[in-house]
Amino acid sequence: MNLYEKYPISLTNSLSGKKEAFVPINVGSVGMYVCGPTVYSDVHLGNVRTFLTFDVISRYFRHLGYKLRYVRNITDVGHLENDADEGEDKIAKKARLEKLEPMEVVKNYTEGFHEVLRQFNMIPPSIEPTATAHIVEQIEITKKLITNGFAYEVNGSVYFDVTKYNESHDYGILSGRKIEDLMESGRKLDSQDEKRNKIDFALWKKASPYHIMRWPSPWGDGFPGWHIECTVMSTKYLGETFDIHGGGMDLKFPHHECEIAQAVGANGKNPVNYWLHSNMLTVNGQKMSKSLGNSFLPRELFTGNHALLERGYSPMSVRFFMLQSHYSSTLDFSNEALASAEKGFKKLSNSLGAIKNLTAVVSNQTNTELVKELNRMVDDCYLSMSDDFNSAKAIAGLFVMSARINDFKSGNTSLEQVDIETFEKFKSTYVDMMEKVLGLKEETDADGSHLNGAIQVLIELRKKARADRNYALSDKIRDDLQAVGVQLKDGKNGEISYTIE
């Protein structure tokens, strides 16, 4: 029996708003598309959470024995500064400001994005297509939408006719928005506007003479709209109807709503069976945003080099911290929560090292109750993950297992009480859940845990030196640490934190 038959997955489908049994289109296979980054700036932590959610989901599908094709795109053209098809293309703007070719901007930030995901131990997707490599397909589907009567051309641009589409279909099926409300809100169209209705969106935009990113099309030189690339790349690699489409909650409207309308308008088929959305990050209870000054980059989190951070946290501690919440809940960042996640991770990580060194023993004195308990722990971990990928519950299960591992290690519970098969299953479940499914790996010195310990020792010595009024020694500790790139920060109440350059 396959693991996926033993522990069938249920997931919360944003389309129905309900938890549903997962039934793939092809038995034993899963096709999943996730909206990737627009590569015009450093990837922020909110994006990291989204990609981490789908990293764990893809790891779990594979671990259960599914053959998975995971497609995550790179948006390298067409994402304008706001959702109303207005403003400059984000990449073209960055290129202009930095005096670079747009493709230099794309390359720099794509590499940075990959590096961050690698630090967090994420596995690359099966295919990572780019929008600029699929211009031909985007033109083709736009032509099809015009032919099917769902799109119109004005002055070299092509727009999707939402009102027309809504006559025969349901625009708002995913987000629950009503077309009448959308028509009421926001700014009114004026005589400058090309759109028939304000809720229409661009499939193709005419390029002004100064616009650098441009391609020839039946409507003149231009570039694709943002939503159309995902419709093209998902259906090209996964089929006109595929299993799962994921992304951050902020993409549900308009991006994903538009994807459905485009696919239905072009192919006459509902493109996606299950929509999954991961929730937002908050900082000390507030929404994380650049304008509030409370958003930090992954590297600031690792070094602690940010006004809101008391110190740095290792990538694995942050990964663990994020997985301690269900992906559909908001997740709040605070120094306390990070520090406690770091401790928790260390505990589970120690047990991981311990169980790898334990081997089952042949015995004729097995304890039936204990054997039952270990088997239940194994089931609990899988059932939690199969219940809408509940990593938070699975981690709670690992803590229970960790306590047992410590009993075995200390000899409090003899390994002779467990039969070999049960112990091996218990051991492989713990190791697989930690490493393969949750993607947590033991951290070495270079990753910071021992280094942090050593620096804390020096910080305590410095506090003692100051208390003894031995300022020569306390200054020497500070200066010598600074010389090797460790910056001490004196905080309130005599607390000392540090950052590593």
Q: What is the dihedral of CA 23, 26, 27, 32, to 10 degrees?
A: -60
Give least dist CB 82 to Zn ion, A: 16
196's tokens: 């028939």
- Helices 226-238 & 135-147 angle (0-180, nearest 10): 100
Give least dist CB 247 to Zn ion, A: 6
- Name the residue nearer to Zn ion (CB basis): 91 or 338: 91
Give least dist CB 260 to Zn ion, A: 12
What is the contact mask toward Zn ion in residues 185 to 224, using x (rule: CB under 5 A)? Answer: ----------------------------------------
- Name the residue nearer to Zn ion (CB basis): 34 or 283: 34
- Name the residue nearer to Zn ion (CB basis): 263 or 355: 263
d(CA 454, CA 473): 17
Give least dist CB 230 to Zn ion, A: 3
Binding range to Zn ion, per CB under 5 A, among 29-37, 354-362, 400-408, 426-434: 29-37
Give least dist CB 133 to Zn ion, A: 15
How many chain residues touch Zn ion (CB under 5 A)?
2
3-state secondary structure 132-194: HHHHHHHHHHHHHHHHCCCEEEECCEEEECHHHHHHHCCCCCCCCCCHHHHHHCCCCCCCCCC
Give least dist CB 368 to Zn ion, A: 53
228 binds Zn ion (CB under 5 A): no
∠ Cα 13 15 16 (to 5°): 75
One-letter amino acid of 164 = K
Q: Is 232 exposed, middle or buried (0-12, 13-18, 19+ CB in 10 A)?
A: buried
Scanning the structure block, which residue is given the tokens 């951290």? Answer: 443
- Name the residue nearer to Zn ion (CB basis): 37 or 439: 37
- Name the residue nearer to Zn ion (CB basis): 35 or 418: 35
Length of the chain: 501
- Name the residue nearer to Zn ion (CB basis): 230 or 496: 230
Binding range to Zn ion, per CB under 5 A, among 52-60, 225-233, 450-458, 488-496: 225-233
403's tokens: 């306590």
Give least dist CB 481 to Zn ion, A: 46
244 binds Zn ion (CB under 5 A): no
User: Is residue 213 within 8 Å of 207, Cβ to Cβ?
Assistant: yes
Give least dist CB 35 to Zn ion, A: 3
- Name the residue nearer to Zn ion (CB basis): 145 or 230: 230
32 φ, ψ (degrees, to nearest 5): -135, 130
User: Which of 15, 35, 74, 105: binder of Zn ion (CB under 5 A)?
Assistant: 35
230 binds Zn ion (CB under 5 A): yes
Binding range to Zn ion, per CB under 5 A, among 30-38, 76-84, 190-198, 207-215: 30-38
Question: Closest by alpha carbon to 141, among 213, 234, 72, 207?
Answer: 234
One-letter amino acid of 98 = E
Q: Which residues bind Zn ion (CB under 5 A)?
A: 35, 230
